[in-house]
Copies of this chain bind each other. A is one copy, B any other.
Amino acid sequence: MKIGIIGATGYGGLELMRLLHQHPEVHVIDLYTSSEEGTVFSSKYPHTTNLYDQSLLKIDHAQLIDYDVLFASTPAGVTSQLLPSFIGKGPKLIDLSGDFRLKNSRDYELWYKKSPAPKEAVEQSAYGLTEWNTEAIHKAELIANPGCYPTAVLLSLLPLVKERLINATGLIIDAKSGVSGAGNTPGPMTHFSETNENLSIYKINQHQHIPEIEQGIEQFGNQKTPVTFTTHLVPMTRGIMATSYAPIREGVTEEQLINCLKDYYEGRPFIRVMPDSPRFCTKQVYGTNFCDIHVKVDSRTNRATVVSVIDNLVKGAAGQAIQNMNVSFGLKETLGLHQVPLFI
């Protein structure tokens, strides 16, 4: 397979390159950029010396059409313009940005403050939450890879919402992320001296992943409701934890919730429903495509606490994108994604 990566110099691009390097079906990886054409990639990122010594290429429609897969890892507002013209022309398109995720264009305008992608292209795209949309992903020409937070949230909640074991209306999601989610552009919020040894809360009630989560709960869980979703910045590079609180249906037990999750995810190798242990933490999935889920019920309040952890750059971005590529081509879902977590 021949792969083109558009927006190769960002962290999403970097992580695609890290993982695709180990994919047995991938033989060509070309790197495209809008701003650093001609730069030798490994001179910009010396850790890729001897691995990615090629020059960054200029984004060019005629060239790009020749790839089997195009991954795009660009800021919001770029692929809405760039990708529609490739639909049906050959390459499978996997977009890691938010441009095609929201089916309702007014939501996109409201939360992203940008012009939406063409309606038809959005309709043709499949939302790439692999475990929940496998068929559509397999057929689609354009895959809208989910946001990092929605991936962690939806994977852990959808079975419980769909089975009405929890009530989505009372849902409160307290999410925490490592700093790499903010990308590679330096700024005050990611300046080491002000981020290290510090925990911040940001974008209260305003994060653009809120409508994506609500859309997923409606599309796959069949409940339509606004949710409370809050994000925190943790002094670490990788990792997302989503701690969700929801009222349980009268009489439902912890065991039922756990079994529901296990049933839904039987045969899905990247979802692990975890028992009690001294530590449930982000590092248990570090560098890998796992999503681990843990559930507790508090009989004092009749609420469930549902916790999930992912690596925001893998299952929350590049890893799920490759998983979607595998599904798209009918390959084994885990191909190239066999890594053991770097717990240490």
| Residues of A that sit less than 8 Å from B by CB | 11, 14-15, 17-18, 21-22, 43, 45-51, 170, 172, 174, 176, 178-180, 182, 184, 186-202, 204-205, 226-228, 230, 232, 234-239, 241, 243, 245, 269, 272, 274, 277-287, 292, 294, 296, 298, 300-301, 303, 305, 307, 313, 338-344
Contacts and interface: CB of A to CB of B under 8 A. Distances in A.
Contacts of A269: 50
A147 B166 CA distance: 32
B196 A236 contact: yes
A46 B279 contact: yes
28 contacts: A14-B344, A45-B343, A47-B284, A48-B343, A50-B272, A172-B245, A176-B176, A179-B193, A184-B193, A184-B344, A186-B191, A189-B278, A190-B193, A192-B196, A194-B283, A197-B283, A198-B236, A198-B283, A205-B298, A205-B300, A228-B298, A228-B301, A228-B303, A230-B245, A234-B235, A245-B245, A287-B287, A287-B342
Nearest to A247: B170
A33 B307 CA distance: 32
A155 to B, nearest CB: 16
A182 B191 CA distance: 11
A337 to B, nearest CB: 11
Contact of A194 (B49, B189, B343): B343
Contacts of A202: 278-280
Nearest to A10: B344
Given A46-B284, A186-B188, A198-B283, A344 B204 contact: no
Among A189, A190, A196, A296, chain B packs the most CB atoms within 10 A around the CB of A196
A200 B235 contact: no
Contacts of A226: 300-301
A280 B199 CA distance: 8
A170 to B, nearest CB: 8
Given A46-B279, A179-B196, A236-B199, A305 B343 contact: no
Contact of A280 (B21, B176, B184, B201): B201
A15 B22 CA distance: 18
- Among A237, A239, A272: residue with most chain B CB under 10 A: A237
A344 B172 contact: no
B243 A199 contact: no
A305 B344 contact: no
A202 B192 CA distance: 17
A56 B205 CA distance: 32
Contacts of A285: 47
Given A278-B188, A305-B204, A235 B235 contact: yes
A309 to B, nearest CB: 8
A298 B205 CA distance: 6
Contacts of A180: 193, 344
A239 B50 CA distance: 20
A266 to B, nearest CB: 12
A51 B249 CA distance: 34
